[in-house]
A and B are shown apart, each in its own frame.
Chain A
Amino acid sequence: MKGGEAIIKSLQDHGVDVVFGYPGGVLLPLYDVIYDSDLKHILVRHEQCAAHAADGYARASGKVGVCIGTSGPGATNLVTGIATAYMDSSPIIAIAGQVGTSLIGKDAFQEVDTLGITMPITKHNFQAMKADEIPGMIKAGFYIAKTGRPGPIVLDLPKDVQEEEFDYKKDLKIDLPGYKPTKKGHTLQIKKAANLILESKKPVILAGGGVIHSKSSAELLKLSELIRAPVTTTLMGKGSFPEDHKLSLGMLGMHGRKVANIVVDECDCLIAIGCRFSDRTTGNVEEFASKAKIIHIDVDPAEIGKNIDVNVPIVGDAKNTLTSLIRNITNIKISAENVTKAKKWTDYIFDFKNNCMPRLSFEDVPLKPQQVIKEIMESVDKDTIVTTDVGQNQMWMAHYFTSKIPRTFLSSGGLGTMGFGFPAAMGAKVALPESDVVSVCGDGGFLMVCQELATIKEYDIPIVVCVLDNRYLGMVAQWQKLFYDGRISHTRLGDVPDFVKLAEAFGVKGEKVERPGEMKETLKNALNSGEPTIIDVIIDPDEILPMVPPGCGLTEIVGEYKVEREFSGEIPYVKPAHGGGGD
């Protein structure tokens, strides 16, 4: 068998049915194999989008996504997508062509040190110098990518290795002596956590992406209801807990819900599951949950104690650990006193939450993004997959959109990569053709990857992209308005392009939405039509999402927090807001 054939065979043996790629000189042998194979190949129009699509595929389905790029510029174009997947722990395999082994190190045409460049942005990477290494590397790659804390893998593949003949052996064993993804939480620590939770009066759960990776949403729900603790999530944790549940507080952090930020500040016990306490989630770490004892459950030992000090660290898979934690708590006899204090806490939460539900309905023209998102929510099912881009569009979606089930809210969290939303939606739709997929993007971010209109047209990938058109790099402009005296330096995007015509130039349907009510109708029609559609949504460029300035505590929210109804009763303590500060 040839090296190139071994790649395709190994991928297929691991259940891969589709790859996103872009060929080039050194990949000719591999693409010649693809020519005869039944593996579906989707030719993207930029390698960055191959990686984002593979990432979207992985996030939506839980399977490993695969992308391919040629050596040199192909590999460097993949880099942003790989780094995006790395920051958000998404399992993808990126295959990069490389110049022939005899040319490596000679600054050959289109040679780049892919291995060196991707070392800090992969969970692991490989370079096959002989064809017989390929099956083992792919097997190890899949295993490493999806076990423990998931992450991207790069396979660097020199041209001659793709052509080299070797004896393909079945049932090959791999040996990874340095890789033992920890699975089970420490029993004593779990006991400690159980006791701490029962001693607390005001427990809160913070759920991150780890809950989704470990498929432990059912356990999360059970724990929350058992101990009557409200649940807030990180951006990556959105969907891990039904946000229409009474105990849901919505997202926490810099652009989090007011109720979540304040309740975390007030709680006396924070149970953090599968999250890494990013600065966007915690705000100033000194002030973060400062009255609380913190329990941190994570499968990656290095996340524990990295950003904040915790009282009860538990290294383990969320599913196992939660199951055992629930068992421990159920075994302890709950006293009448416990029930009373739990009721007091939840009553307070329900009341507070009702009083600060963000306002969604606006009759204004140009449209308020809140109204747009409200209409999107009215037009989609609970299992519709939404992807966001990065910027205000993303934070509006994270703040206002109600996610109900895991793997339906896909967003670039850690790297904050503009241009992620559209190709990720493409990948998600390819993974789950039966699900509706809607991407909400900014005009700036969409323009970074708009060439993929060709891909969705050619392969008939019927996703709907809602471009929130404010003609600004809105999020940066927001910071300029709030922290730089309104000096709008190079964040105005001007008047071009016409997004409807842009879509039409690619043969894709383009629609325009300008008034309340239109979004709902247009989106419903687009989803029903089964055709890829771009909706240009003209929104108010001046709308600002309240935020916590960088370096401040989570309660120090600036900007007017518009609520659905006026406060009644006692308003919880809010520290006075102060301005500014660099990032």
Chain B
Amino acid sequence: MLNQPMVVGVIDMDEQRSHIISALVLHRPGVLQRVAGLFTRRGFNIETITVGTSEQDDMARMTIIARGDGKVLEQITKQLNKLIDVIKVRDLEPENTVERELCLIKVHAPAEHVRSEVIQYANIFRGRIIDVGIETLTIEITGTPDKIEALIDLLRVFGIKEIARTGPTAISRGTKII
């Protein structure tokens, strides 16, 4: 891939946007530090980064959301590829990618009518109530970052106590693998 000239024309190189980068890395101590350090040192903007195991035993998959134009993205990909512990790097095309994030939201809901309203919202968003406290409800929701954002906005009126998000992870559609 790196040996080929870049395809310009189909992609707008100057467009600033968030890119979803999927990287297969060796499952080793320090690899997260190498990747994160690279982003800081080269002045690349990381929005989120998620790491977990992959289909291969000794490898982990990182999903990095980074902002920049085409040139910045090209540098990010190339610099990541230079790391010895990084096996493969792909910039996922948004239209051919499914992206999901998990979010836990603890909402202030002491009164009965508030509770039922919160539960209704959670249902509409296909969320689940995973914990009930005396004054709080905790919702689990997965979806695209936009969908999660929308639910959070709705719940704000009740008072949000705490939010924990994983950051998006992503995979390409269909049979394609990286």
Decide yes or no whether B173 CB sits under 8 A from chain A: no
Decide yes or no whether A124 CB sits under 8 A from chain B: yes
User: What 1/0 mask marks residues of chain B from 23 to 53 whose CB sits below 8 Å from any chain A CB?
Assistant: 0011000100110011001000000000000
Closest chain B residue, CB of each to CB of A301: B2
Q: Is the pair A179, B5 in contact by a Cβ cutoff of 8 Å?
A: no
Where the two chains meet, the residues of A that have a C-beta atom closer than 8 Å to any C-beta of B are: 115-116, 119-120, 123-124, 127, 144, 176-179, 182, 185-186, 189, 300-302, 305-306, 313, 315-316
Decide yes or no whether B176 CB sits under 8 A from chain A: no
Q: Is the pair B84, A176 in contact by a Cβ cutoff of 8 Å?
A: yes
Q: Is the pair A315, B5 in contact by a Cβ cutoff of 8 Å?
A: no
Q: Is the pair A178, B41 in contact by a Cβ cutoff of 8 Å?
A: no
Closest chain B residue, CB of each to CB of A116: B33
Q: Is the pair A302, B84 in contact by a Cβ cutoff of 8 Å?
A: no
Question: How far apart are the CA atoms of A406 and B66 in the complex, in Å?
Answer: 42
Closest chain A residue, CB of each to CB of B85: A178
30 example contacts (A-B, Cβ-Cβ < 8 A) are as follows A115-B30, A116-B33, A120-B37, A120-B38, A120-B41, A123-B84, A124-B84, A127-B30, A144-B84, A177-B26, A178-B25, A178-B84, A178-B85, A178-B86, A182-B3, A186-B3, A186-B4, A189-B3, A300-B82, A301-B81, A302-B78, A302-B79, A302-B82, A305-B6, A305-B71, A305-B75, A306-B75, A315-B2, A315-B3, A316-B3
Q: Is the pair A313, B87 in contact by a Cβ cutoff of 8 Å?
A: no
Q: Which of A119, A178, A302, A306 contacts B33 (CB 8 A)?
A: A119
Q: Is the pair B5, A313 in contact by a Cβ cutoff of 8 Å?
A: yes
Which of A124, A177, A316 has the largest count of B CB atoms less than 10 A from its CB? A177
Name the distance in Å between A224's Cβ and chain B's nearest Cβ: 25
Q: Which of B3, B30, B75 contacts A302 (CB 8 A)?
A: B75
What chain A residues lie within 8 Å of B82 (beta carbons)?
300, 302
Decide yes or no whether B74 CB sits under 8 A from chain A: yes
Name the distance in Å between B26's Cβ and chain A's nearest Cβ: 6
What chain B residues lie within 8 Å of A313 (beta carbons)?
5
What chain B residues lie within 8 Å of A300 (beta carbons)?
82
Q: Is the pair B37, A178 in contact by a Cβ cutoff of 8 Å?
A: no
Question: How far apart are the CA atoms of A189 and B26 in the complex, in Å?
Answer: 32
Question: How far apart are the CA atoms of A124 and B86 in the complex, in Å?
Answer: 12
- B window 68-97: CB within 8 A of A: 71, 74-75, 78-79, 81-87
Closest chain B residue, CB of each to CB of A313: B5
Name the distance in Å between A507's Cβ and chain B's nearest Cβ: 44
Name the distance in Å between A47's Cβ and chain B's nearest Cβ: 23
Given contacts A119-B30, A176-B84, A186-B4, 17 further A-B contacts (CB under 8 A): A116-B33, A119-B33, A124-B84, A127-B30, A177-B26, A177-B87, A178-B25, A178-B87, A179-B84, A182-B2, A182-B3, A185-B3, A300-B82, A302-B75, A302-B81, A305-B71, A306-B75
Question: How far apart are the CA atoms of A186 and B3 in the complex, in Å?
Answer: 6
Where the two chains meet, the residues of B that have a C-beta atom closer than 8 Å to any C-beta of A are: 2-6, 25-26, 30, 33-34, 37-38, 41, 71, 74-75, 78-79, 81-87
What chain A residues lie within 8 Å of B78 (beta carbons)?
301-302
What chain A residues lie within 8 Å of B5 (beta carbons)?
186, 189, 313
Q: Which of A176, A182, A305 contacts B74 (CB 8 A)?
A: A305
Question: How far apart are the CA atoms of A484 and B30 in the complex, in Å?
Answer: 45
Name the distance in Å between B100's Cβ and chain A's nearest Cβ: 27
Question: How far apart are the CA atoms of A128 and B107 in the complex, in Å?
Answer: 48
What chain A residues lie within 8 Å of B71 (beta carbons)?
305
What chain B residues lie within 8 Å of A306 (beta carbons)?
75
Which of B5, B25, B26 has the largest count of A CB atoms less than 10 A from its CB? B5
Question: How far apart are the CA atoms of A176 and B26 in the complex, in Å?
Answer: 10
Which of A178, A179, A189, A306 has the largest count of B CB atoms less than 10 A from its CB? A178
Closest chain B residue, CB of each to CB of A125: B30
Name the distance in Å between A263's Cβ and chain B's nearest Cβ: 28
Name the distance in Å between B82's Cβ and chain A's nearest Cβ: 6
Closest chain A residue, CB of each to CB of B80: A302
What chain A residues lie within 8 Å of B34 (beta carbons)?
119
What chain A residues lie within 8 Å of B4 (beta carbons)?
186
Name the distance in Å between A465's Cβ and chain B's nearest Cβ: 35
Q: Is the pair A178, B2 in contact by a Cβ cutoff of 8 Å?
A: no
Question: How far apart are the CA atoms of A313 and B71 in the complex, in Å?
Answer: 14
In the complex where A186-B3, A301-B2, A315-B2 touch, is A178 in contact with B79 (Cβ < 8 A)? Answer: no
Rank and list the top 3 A-B pairs by shortest CB-CB distance, nearest first: A302-B78, A301-B2, A124-B84
What chain A residues lie within 8 Å of B30 (beta carbons)?
115, 119, 127
Name the distance in Å between B137's Cβ and chain A's nearest Cβ: 40
Closest chain A residue, CB of each to CB of B78: A302
Question: How far apart are the CA atoms of A491 and B86 in the complex, in Å?
Answer: 45
Question: How far apart are the CA atoms of A110 and B31 in the complex, in Å?
Answer: 25
What chain A residues lie within 8 Å of B2 (beta carbons)?
182, 301, 315
Closest chain A residue, CB of each to CB of B4: A186
Question: How far apart are the CA atoms of A158 and B3 in the complex, in Å?
Answer: 40
Question: How far apart are the CA atoms of A119 and B38 in the complex, in Å?
Answer: 9
What chain B residues lie within 8 Å of A116 (beta carbons)?
33
Question: How far apart are the CA atoms of A123 and B71 in the complex, in Å?
Answer: 23
What chain B residues lie within 8 Å of A176 (beta carbons)?
84
What chain A residues lie within 8 Å of B75 (beta carbons)?
302, 305-306
Question: How far apart are the CA atoms of A123 and B82 in the complex, in Å?
Answer: 8
Which of B25, B37, B82, B85 has the largest count of A CB atoms less than 10 A from its CB? B82
Question: How far apart are the CA atoms of A302 and B80 in the complex, in Å?
Answer: 9
Name the distance in Å between A250's Cβ and chain B's nearest Cβ: 31
Question: How far apart are the CA atoms of A186 and B5 in the complex, in Å?
Answer: 9
Name the distance in Å between A91's Cβ and chain B's nearest Cβ: 14
Question: How far apart are the CA atoms of A186 and B83 in the complex, in Å?
Answer: 23
Closest chain B residue, CB of each to CB of A304: B78
Question: How far apart are the CA atoms of A315 and B6 in the complex, in Å?
Answer: 12
Closest chain B residue, CB of each to CB of A149: B82
Closest chain B residue, CB of each to CB of A151: B82
What chain B residues lie within 8 Å of A302 (beta carbons)?
75, 78-79, 81-82
What chain B residues lie within 8 Å of A124 (beta carbons)?
84
What chain A residues lie within 8 Å of B83 (beta carbons)?
178
Which of B6, B74, B78 has the largest count of A CB atoms less than 10 A from its CB? B78
What chain A residues lie within 8 Å of B84 (beta carbons)?
123-124, 144, 176, 178-179
